Structure 1
């Protein structure tokens, strides 16, 4: 079968129109069956490239291997991206738009003209003069997070197969589901994958490399109030809705997502529900240090207990669930993973910028599962919003970075 010659743009446009939005309320893996639609497409395309072991497993993960073509003992390297898009905004009926030869200025979106990608809010646009910019029409997400990463990995694999003179060790490809709802690595079979080290293609601006991420916990507070008929409630009713509201009202304003940046952590309520007799509040707690997580969780418990002093008949149940941890502690034990990535970035003319993710990726989970896995730039911007955009030329650079990184691993390997 002839080797496909799709460009990274061809692939990207094909993938983003497939609705793959995940659903945090689902208990299945994948959380939505529509993610399997893209999984089947990728399985077929990988097989068309000649990767005979490509397959979609029962959990929606896609695996494939590009066999080594060198005699050197090169570790197997995995490149990973996720197929789902965020639940934050619609991923249905995506209509990608291309601004050819962008010459500066704001970009007004065509489907919802009230939405504008403004240069003063997206200063990276100043570096895109002459580029082709892909946006949505303003009514959906674009899905560059993380279909740009998928398109880049697929295009790099195609390039390596078309250029066998480029020597490389075994290359493992992994596409996951449900990353956006924190389950991307839940069902990954690392033994089957067979990689020693990995890289997620799930970053943003070219040159930015993430070797560190938030540590994360989820906290749930369940409140049992005292329900009484409102006509006879004086000095007896303890309304769980009001208790929950009082807890949220006392959260420190300087420890919220909207007031923090850099390495500052936060306490973030993400859900509240209930009635007079009972209420439930869900939080996510984030900090780069586990000590910071504990401090924030202790503060939340103290606020809750203080509020309940005014409601002596009410009780609460507080549950803390670990979500993921900072991958830096794992990567520091394998410096070659970052060293090779930084060298490859310099070789393509970029100065690597080591950054910390105010969030998490599959790479964080995979690192603690035994696959050290920093995060690489894809060129995407304004993720999780209808203002999402990406440069075609930046995607092409990301493809080159993957190829160069694979070459560096082979060149530095023992004969």
Structure 2
């Protein structure tokens, strides 16, 4: 592909995929959790088949599309893989309208005239970094789906490049496109026996030059509080207000260990939902930390808070606490080549490397635990999970060029 052809292909591919509602649903028991993800998976499968990818499968059991470029060289080098996810976050995703802003001038962007929704430099000063590029946004009423359809578009473009250029020698490379990453279920179910790679990279969030060999340790807690509701005029010594108990629990969480006061390798507690009435309250609290000892301390603190308040209100509070995923660093550090390969590729592309912890989790958490060390690269977008998401065609091309360069470097050392 020429540079212009590649530019047009990756942009059209992204827009095509972005229009499909693939919002996942943590309350669903289907695999994938939503039909839109199945729809997108089958479109990707057909697109890959049409471009000549001979080894591509869609597995209805785990919802994954896996495409493999066979070894076309005489070298026996460890196979590698790349992973991107089909679903988008818990935000409106019906009737997504991607808007293309060519040669962006650095000014505020009117996303929706009827609702006066704007992408402004005051709120998002980093917009200035994209002057002259082709900016793609939603119309401000939905998310765009950059996370992770930008990663998918870059991966599909890479596959097309190597199919169209058989003279480019490489070993076996596999690409996995899976569901339900946002709700932490997709990669848990992923049958990695059909993804026979020695190591892989997720293409999830982040800016060009980033490499994230570390993620949070994560746990989720559900607190159920039973109250006693009676008429307030007759409540003396009888009413037990579940809302009051819930507020006492939340007030005892460390006030500085919250996302809005955290950065770098800081962990936090976050109350993600609070629903209920006098008679019953349900609270969801997530716990995050990079350091395992601090992670354990946070979980023990939450248990202690519940224990102390339960002594005042016996038999009324139930805590369910489960681990969600663990930091991938212990898997990555055993093989420094995985990161060194990325750093060499960034050097070749004149990208300034930025090694830092991923303040979240990826499919790599579960895939790493299954024996395939999988740090995160980037997909080049910004403002994820909301109406102000955007990506530039140029950044998607950088993701594509990074994947391509990693493959070439790995198999031609």
Q: Tell me the TM-score range normalised by the shorter chain.
A: over 0.9
- The residue correspondences of 1:41-56 to structure 2 (distance < 5 A) are 41-56=43-58
Q: Which residue in 2 is equivalent to 1:295?
A: 297
Displacement after TM superposition at 1:230 (Å): 4.8
CA distance in 1, matches of 2:163, 2:56: 15
CA RMSD of aligned residues (A): 2.0
Equivalents in 2 of 1:109, 1:94: separation in Å?
Answer: 12
Q: 2:68 aligns with which of 62, 65, 69?
A: 65
Which stretch shows the higher mean deviation, 360-369 or 300-309? Answer: 300-309
User: 1:225·1:314 contact (CA, 8 Å) conserved in 2?
Assistant: no
Structure 2 match to 1:194:
196
Deviation at 1:411? Answer: 1.3
Indicate the residue corresponding to 1:323 in structure 2.
324
The correspondence of residues 271-290 of structure 1 with structure 2, limited to 5 A, is 271-290=273-292
Structure 1 position 302, deviation (Å): 2.7
C-alpha distance in 2 between matches for 1:410 and 1:230: 74
Equivalent positions of 1:52-131 (< 5 A) are: 52-58=54-60, 59-87=62-90, 89-110=91-112, 113-131=115-133
- 3-state secondary structure, aligned to 1:376: coil
1:167 is aligned to: 169
Distance 2:106 2:317 in 1: 55
Once residues 98 and 227 of structure 2 are traced to their aligned partners in structure 1, the CA distance between those partners, rounded to angstroms, is 49
Q: Report deviation, 1:113.
A: 4.9
For residues 359-370 of structure 1, the aligned pairs below 5 Å read 359-370=360-371
CA distance in 2, matches of 1:60, 1:111: 38
What is the CA–CA distance in structure 1 between the aligned matches of 2:206 and 2:108, rounded to whole Å? Answer: 20
Describe the shift of the 1:283–1:112 C-alpha distance in structure 2 as closer, same or farther (beyond 3 A): farther
2:306–2:319 CA contact under 8 A, matched in 1: no
SS at match of 2:394: helix
| Alpha-carbon distance in structure 1 between the residues aligned to 2:7 and 2:352 | 30
Number of equivalences: 408
Query: Which residue is equivalent to 2:135?
Result: 133
1:5-404 superposed matches below 5 A:
7-58=9-60, 59-87=62-90, 89-110=91-112, 113-228=115-230, 230=232, 232-311=234-313, 313-404=314-405
Task: Describe the superposition over 1:169-192 as per-residue Cα deviations: whole angstroms up to 9, x where unpaired.
Answer: 101010010101111202211112
Deviation at 1:259, TM superposition (A): 2.0
C-alpha distance in 2 between matches for 1:301 and 1:363: 29
Q: Kindly tell me: are residues 67 and 5 of structure 1, through their superposed partners in 2, closer, same or farther at Cα, counting changes over 3 Å?
A: farther
> CA distance change for structure 1 residues 5 and 389 in 2, over 3 Å: closer, same or farther?
closer
Structure 1 runs, 4 residues or longer, greater than 6 Å off:
3-6
TM-score (ref. length: structure 1): 0.93
Instruction: Map Cα deviations across residues 69-127 of structure 1 (whole Å, 9 max, x no partner).
Output: 1111121111110010101x211111111111112122221356543222343333222
Residues 353-362 or 224-233, more deviating: 224-233
Q: d(CA) in 2 for partners of 1:225 and 1:393?
A: 56
**TM-score with structure 2 setting the length:** 0.94
Q: Please give the alpha-carbon distance, in whole angstroms, between the structure 2 residues aligned to 1:119 and 1:408.
A: 39
In structure 2, distance between residues paired with 1:147 and 1:33: 16
Cα distance in 2 between the residues matched to 1:111 and 1:200: 36
Q: Deviations over 1:362-405 (max 9, x none)?
A: 11221111111111111100000100011111111111111100
SS in 1 for 2:186: coil
